[in-house]
Amino acid sequence: MLKAILFDMDDTLIDWSGRVQDWLEYEREHLNFLIDHLTGAGHTVPNADHFFTSVRQFASDSWVDSAASLRAPRYAEAILKAMEQIGIPITDFDEDSVLRALKWKMIAGVVAFPDVLDVLPVLVSHNLQLGLITNASTPMWLRDTELEEVGLLHYFSDCRLSAVDVGYLKPHPAIFQHALDKLQLQPSEVVFVGDNPEADVSGAQSVGMKAVLRVVQKPGIITSRLFTPDARIDTFHELPAILDEWYPGWR
């Protein structure tokens, strides 16, 4: 029997296509809040541009390094490295403190997909547990602020996992198994829905879950041949019927 559905977050639940701000501009805006925090604590940031560039380089390098190992990159670690590079003693700070100083919030124009807002209440009404797994280099408590802003946080009280909190990126099986352990369920009782054929579909299938590909953009021919989802949907409105076929009587 179906007991839970796990979702990817970005481009599956949340639509980034309407954002009104470039990511680097957004990042710089929030790093400026951190600089204000550092200055208030008595530290000097001699060259803000150099600091911004260093954070971006360390963060980018960590994602490159993660490609082979699937070890989750840590955005806070990139910030601390950049602080150390400009002479600020990082022993005075920890990862949570620098992240809180960023005053993180959702970029304007980013919203929950309308079909997500339509269908999640239906799933909840039939007593399914809902969870999500995001390949984020920031902890879930920070990403929770984004979920709350787009009106989704209350749907995911059962399981919310960020890669950086688990230590591995999708498609590594460890992060999917961590979610199953958290829900105390077997793979046959859980379906995963995501937009990335490799990270979401292959990762979920590797631990025995059925995987639904949420088609936001058409995958390339090679990707389509390498990773075959158990089902494809263009809209969340198609999901209940697929669940009816796989798990008769779930509702």
34-85 residue pLDDT tens: 999 999 999 999 999 999 999 999 999 999 999 989 999 999 999 999 999 9
* 157 shares a domain with 237: yes
pLDDT of residue 102: 97
Alpha-carbon distance of 210 to 208, in angstroms, equals: 7
Residue 251 lies in a domain: no
CATH number of the domain where residue 231 is located: 3.40.50.1000
Could you give the maximum distance between any two Cα atoms of the chain, in Å?
64
End residue of a domain, out of 43, 71, 101: 101
Q: What is the average per-residue pLDDT within 162-190? A: 98
* 232 shares a domain with 115: yes
pLDDT of residue 217: 72
pLDDT at 222 over 90: no
> Distance from CA of residue 72 to its chain's centroid?
11
Calculate the dihedral angle through the C-alpha atoms of 240, 243, 244, 248, rounding to the nearest 10 degrees: -140
* 240 shares a domain with 124: yes
* 144 shares a domain with 236: yes
End residue of a domain, out of 55, 84, 101: 101
End residue of a domain, out of 68, 101, 134: 101
* 239 shares a domain with 168: yes
* 212 shares a domain with 181: yes
pTM: 0.93
Looking at the 3D structure of the chain, how many domains does it have?
2
pLDDT of residue 224: 58
Give CA angle at 154 (180, 164), nearest 5°.
Answer: 50
pLDDT of residue 60: 96
Residue 80 lies in a domain: yes
* 229 shares a domain with 194: yes
* 27 shares a domain with 12: no
Q: Which residue has the tokens 């481009």?
A: 11
The set of residues, in sequence order, having a beta carbon less than 8 Å from that of 121 and lying 6+ positions away, is none
* 193 shares a domain with 143: yes
* 127 shares a domain with 56: no
pLDDT of residue 220: 57
Alpha-carbon distance of 2 to 187, in angstroms, equals: 10
- The tokens of 43 are what? 């530290």
Q: Are 137 and 64 in contact (CB under 8 A)?
A: no
Residues spanned by the domain of 154: 4-17+108-246
DSSP 3-state assignment of 48? Answer: helix
